[in-house]
Amino acid sequence: GRVAMAEGEGTVSVDYEVFGKVQGVFFRKYTQGEAKRLGLVGWVQNTSHGTVRGQVQGPAARVRELQDWLRKIGSPQSRISRAEFSNEKKIAAPEHEDFQILK
């Protein structure tokens, strides 16, 4: 849960899915930019049902920042209705080289 990891120690991996008007509004590009700014790795892609999903990995405190961004901000034209996070776990080291936009 969120409280247990609030100290932000270690590296975490979290899957996410963002609902709302998030396709065709440069959402993936902005997510990639924000993740890179925070020094995070992972990926982002559009789904066939109109959402954007992906995985983010990095220092817990930075991952929290991206989670807040995915919940509340997004790209300038987006309208986020909600963001869901799942499969949160501590990992020894990031499993991705960088943060990619997948087709």
- Catalytic residue positions? 28, 46
Please tell me the distance from the alpha carbon of residue 72 to that of residue 66, in angstroms, as a whole number: 10
Q: Give the sign of the dihedral formed by CA 62, CA 95, CA 82, CA 38.
A: positive
Q: Give the sign of the dihedral formed by CA 63, CA 18, CA 25, CA 44.
A: positive
CA distances from 41 to 78, 81, 99 (A): 22, 24, 4
